[in-house]
Every structure is written in C-alpha cells, then in structure tokens.
C-alpha cells in the first residue's frame, strides 16, 4: 500500500530551484514526478537522492512547450501514482539578454514557448485532471518589477505568467484548487552563476537589504508553504521572494 499522501508534478526539476522544490516536497510525504527536458543523468540523480532519503519519485522527459508530451507526462504520473494533487511549473529559460531592437526571432520564440506555452499546457490539463483541493504553483521573476534594460522578452514572458495565474485562479471556481506564483530575485543556482564574474555576483548579492543572494531552499520553503493546507486562503497571488530587493 502506498504511504504518500499527495502526488506532485514538478517541471524543470532536474536542477536549481526545481530540484530543491522536488526534494523538499518529497520530505513532506509527497510522491514527486521529476520533469526534465534533456539531462537524464541529472534527473535520475534527483530521483535517487529522494529515494535514498526515504521518499518516492520518478523521472519523466517532456518538453513542456509540446502539449502531447505534457499529456503523456500527466498520464505517466497517474499510471504510477493514481492521481495528481500538485503542479509546480519551474521549467523556464532565460537566454542571453539583449536590447529589444537586437532581439531575434529564435530567442523570442524559444522564450515564449517554454516560459508561457509550457505553463499554459500544464495548467489547461491540470484544470481537468488535478484532484479537488489541488495546488498549482507557477514561476515568475522579480525582473517584472525591476524592469531592467535587455530583459524585455524574459520579463514579458513572466508578466504573462502573473496574469495567467490570477485569471486561472478565478476560472477554477468551485474546484477548491488554488493557483499562485512565486517570483524569485537573484538566486544562487548554477544557471544564474554561470558566466558571471565574482565582482558582479558580489554586487548582486549586496543589492537586497539582507545582503545575500537567495538560495534554492529559500524558494522551496515558500512552495512548501503554498502547497500546504496552511496556505488555503492564498489564491491568485504572485509572491515576490527577493530579500527586499524591490
């Protein structure tokens, strides 16, 4: 007999913030389906870490921008665990930032495909297949408030997520499903640190009044709260987590 209480699908969970969330949810007696798009070894490592700690997890490769692959992922979760209670959309991309006038079609299309169409695909399936009382957590970014030059397309994609989150929460009236988003500030993941000088990292770390970068666990703690019963009255909101940067 299965002992886990809930089942979560976490997209983009093979590294960074998604990985931290998957591992932390698994500690709360939640079975986790680890979604990834390319790095099988990294996803398998997350599964192994969770299982060694006594949790339950499995990995599934799917490009969230493709509806048929997302549908197959939901099918797999239900086949393995019989239900889905939680959806966490951490899968996202941020390509090299350039001014809007210099942005090319490929970067624009790839950003929108993953950052907007991906959550669109998972949410429209979740509307029909998430259990009563389910939880959906999307991911935005504090860049939507910082409004930094060269981040136009990335910020626009995440602003769309904030709007979709609020409206989707209203559309799920009667299902007792909450929909919220988390908007991290600079967070010390490999993806964020890659290609940045020590001086730039130190500068970014000193910007918040708490004088440090966020850690993946800081964000995972918020998600753990939002999927718990204690957050039952929070719905349609975007939670900014940046140490007071904005």
Tell me if residue 36 is catalytic: no
**Could you tell me which of 44, 76, 49 has the C-alpha nearest to residue 59?**
44
CA distances from 94 to 91, 108, 226 (A): 11, 10, 25
> Which position among 36, 81, 151, 154 bears the catalytic label?
154
> 246 in helix, strand or coil?
coil
Give the active site residues: 154
């Amino acid at each position: 007999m299965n002992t886990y209480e809930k089942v979560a699908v976490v997209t983009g969970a093979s590294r960074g913030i998604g990985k931290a969330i998957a591992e932390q949810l698994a500690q709360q007696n939640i079975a986790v389906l680890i979604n990834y798009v390319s790095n099988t070894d990294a996803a398998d490592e997350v599964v192994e870490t969770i299982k060694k700690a006594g949790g339950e997890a499995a990995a599934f490769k799917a490009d969230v921008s493709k509806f048929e692959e997302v549908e197959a992922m939901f099918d797999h979760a239900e086949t393995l665990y019989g239900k889905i209670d939680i959806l966490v959309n951490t899968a996202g991309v941020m390509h090299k930032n350039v001014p809007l006038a210099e942005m090319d079609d490929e970067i624009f299309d790839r950003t929108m495909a993953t950052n907007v169409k991906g959550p669109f695909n998972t949410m429209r399936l979740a509307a029909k297949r998430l259990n009563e009382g389910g939880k959906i957590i999307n991911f935005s970014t504090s860049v939507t408030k910082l409004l930094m030059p060269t981040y136009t397309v990335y910020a626009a994609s995440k602003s769309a997520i904030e709007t979709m989150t609020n409206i989707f929460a209203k559309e799920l009236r009667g299902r007792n499903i909450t929909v919220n988003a988390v908007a991290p500030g600079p967070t010390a993941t490999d993806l964020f640190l890659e290609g940045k000088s020590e001086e730039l990292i130190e500068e970014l770390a000193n910007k918040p009044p708490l004088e440090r970068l966020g850690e993946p666990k800081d964000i995972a703690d918020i998600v753990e709260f939002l999927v718990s019963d204690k957050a039952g009255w929070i719905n349609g909101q975007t939670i900014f987590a940046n140490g007071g940067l904005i």
